[in-house]
Structure 1
C-alpha cells in the first residue's frame, strides 16, 4: 500500500501539480502546472507543457533563453509559499515541535488552532495513516484554507485528520475520551485557559507543547502549568536559524536570518493523583497586574499581523475552488 501523498513526491511532473522554479539569481517561483498555460516574467515566458511529463530536477528555458531549475517543493518550501489566511508555523518550529514533543507513528495528537495548516501537515506526516490528528479551530474560514492546503499537498483529504470548528475547551471532551491523547500542541493566544481539559485528555506521560509569540505569554503559561499541579516542570526555548553564503572563498553568514518567530514550552502529564516534586528554588511571582484580560491577550496587543477579512475571503475562495495562483518568493539575499 502506497503511503498517503507518496505518489505525488515521485515520478515525472503531472498536470495540476505545484512545482518550484528557481531562476539564475536564486529567486523562487511556485506555479501550478496546467496544459496550455504559460509562466510569464518581465524576461519572457515558458510553457507549462514543456514541464508536464518532465522528470523532477529538470531545467527549462523560457523564450528569452533564461534557464530555470524545476523541482517539486519540499514540505518546508510548500508551507512558505502556499495560500494562507493566518500566519504559518515556520518549518524550523514545526520540526522542533514534532521532535521535542516526540510525535510518533500511530500517535493520537490534539492540535489547536489550525491556522493555515502548516503544522497540521507536519503532524500528519509524523503520525502516519495509523495515527490520529484532532485539530480544533475557532474560525471556519481558516479551517477551510488549511484543509484545502493539506488536500493539495497530500492529494486527498488525509484519513488520519479531523478538523472541529469551535473552542477547544468546549469541544475537546466531546471528541476524545479522557486519558487517550498522546500529545497536545497548542498554538493560541491564551493556552493557559485550556490546561484543565488538556490534563483530562492526556494519557500519563503524555506531552503538552505550546507555541507562543511573546515573553509575557511564555511566563503566564509556565506559571499556570506549575499551579495546575498535574504537569512536570516546564522547559522553554526558541530556535534561531541563520543561513550561510557559499561562493568560492566568500563563505560567511547571510545578512538576513529567521530570527524570533515564537517560544516553545513543553511539559508532561503526571499520573493521576501524583503531585510534582517540590522545587528547591521558587522563581519570582507571576504577573499579578490587574488588566483587562480580553484586551491584554488580543492579537493586536501582542503585535501579531492580523489578515484583513477581505484577504481571508479571497484566499478561502481561491483554495477551496482549486484555483491557486502563482506565488513568487525570493531567497534571502546574502
Structure 2
C-alpha cells in the first residue's frame, strides 16, 4: 500500500484531537476551532465541549448547553485560508484557483513563489504539486514566513516535505536556490515583479510559466511593458476574476447583494528558449497608449516631482499596512501550546 500524501489522513474519518472543525449555526455563522481534549467552545449562547466532537463523524450536528444546534464539518482549504491567522493579506481562493489552473501547476512540478504572505497560496500550490514536487517560497519578512509556516503546519498536520521557505530578496536568493533553467513555474505576489524578470528568466526552463499577481492597473501596465521589453518572454496576457454568489430560496433565486469583486490582476507569460526572438506584434496599439513624455523607470507625481519606482511601497497602491503589534501577537499565538490559546 502506498503512503498517503501529506495531510490526506486529516481530511477523512472521525474527528480527532488536533483537527480543525468548522461549526455553522442556523443563520450561517461559522466558527473554526481546533479540537483539544478537555476544552470548550464558548459563545454568548452557551458552550460546546470539544470532547463531544472528538470521535464524531464529519458532517455531524452538535447542540450546545442551551440547545443551539451547529453543523460540524472539516473546513475546506478555501474555508481555512479565510479564517486562519493572518500577517499579510491572503490571496483569495478565487485567485488561487485561477493561478493553479492558468499557470498549469502540475503534480511533481518545481515551483518558485514570492512572497509568502500568510501562506494561503502556498497551501494551494503544495496541494497541486504533491509530495514529489518542490515549492521554494521566498519571503523578505521572517515574521510573515513564521506565520505562513504555522498556518500550513496546522492545516496539513506536519511540515510539508515539498516546501522550502527562504528569507531574503528573490533577486538574490533565487540564483542561490536553484540551478539555471530548472524551475517549471514562478508565481510572484509582490509590489514590483518587473524587478525580478532577470532572475526569473535565469531560473525558468524554456516553456515555463511566470504568473504575477498585482493589485493595481499601474502595476499591471508596468509589468506588461517590462515583460515585452525584456525579450525573453512571450506576449503577456492579463485578466481578473469576480465571483457573485446567488440567493437560493424556492423560486426566489437572485444574485446576492454582495459579491467578491476586484482583489487583484493576474498576468501570465512563458519563458522563451535561449536566443529566440519573440514574434513582432502586428496589431497597432490604440492612440494614446504610449505617451512620448512617459519615463519608463519613473513616475511623475502630481506636483511635478519625479519619483523612482524602486521606492514604491504598499501604501502607494492603497495597501493597508499590518501593525507590528498584530504580527507580534500572532507569532506568540502560533508558538504557544494549544491548551494555552
TM-score range, shorter chain: over 0.9
Check whether the contact 1:39–1:47 (CA below 8 A) recurs between aligned residues: yes
- Report the equivalent of 2:277: 275
CA distance in structure 2 between the partners assigned to 1:156 and 1:29 by the alignment: 23
- Report the equivalent of 2:106: 104
1:78-104 Cα deviation digits (max 9, x unpaired): 000000100000000000000000000
Residues 1:277 and 1:295: Cα distance change in structure 2 (over 3 Å): closer
Match of 1:265 among 261, 264, 267: 267
The correspondence of residues 52-91 of structure 1 with structure 2, limited to 5 A, is: 52-91=54-93
Check whether the contact 1:207–1:269 (CA below 8 A) recurs between aligned residues: yes
For structure 1, the residue ranges without an aligned partner over 5 or more in a row are 327-334
CA distance in structure 1 between the partners assigned to 2:324 and 2:16 by the alignment: 34
CA distance in structure 2 between the partners assigned to 1:191 and 1:324 by the alignment: 41
Match of 1:308 among 323, 328, 340: 323
Structure with larger RCO (C-alpha < 8 A, sep 6+): 1
- Report the equivalent of 1:199: 201
- Report the equivalent of 2:35: 33
CA distance in structure 2 between the partners assigned to 1:76 and 1:322 by the alignment: 25
Q: TM-score, normalised on structure 2? A: 0.93
Bigger mean CA offset, 204-213 vs 244-253:
244-253
Residues 1:295 and 1:131: Cα distance change in structure 2 (over 3 Å): closer
- Report the equivalent of 2:303: none
Match of 1:188 among 154, 177, 190: 190
- Report the equivalent of 1:13: 15
Q: TM-score, normalised on structure 1? A: 0.95
CA distance in structure 2 between the partners assigned to 1:293 and 1:171 by the alignment: 24
1:159-207 Cα deviation digits (max 9, x unpaired): 1000000000001000000101000000000000000010011000000
1:44 is the counterpart of 2:49: no
1:251 is the counterpart of 2:253: yes
- Report the equivalent of 1:237: 239
Aligned length: 326
1:258-295 Cα deviation digits (max 9, x unpaired): 10000000000000000110101353227524432358
Residues 1:325 and 1:77: Cα distance change in structure 2 (over 3 Å): farther
Check whether the contact 2:36–2:338 (CA below 8 A) recurs between aligned residues: no
- Report the equivalent of 1:167: 169
- Report the equivalent of 1:297: 312
CA distance in structure 2 between the partners assigned to 1:250 and 1:64 by the alignment: 32
CA distance in structure 2 between the partners assigned to 1:324 and 1:281 by the alignment: 63
CA distance in structure 2 between the partners assigned to 1:90 and 1:42 by the alignment: 30
Bigger mean CA offset, 283-292 vs 188-197:
283-292
CA distance in structure 2 between the partners assigned to 1:81 and 1:31 by the alignment: 10
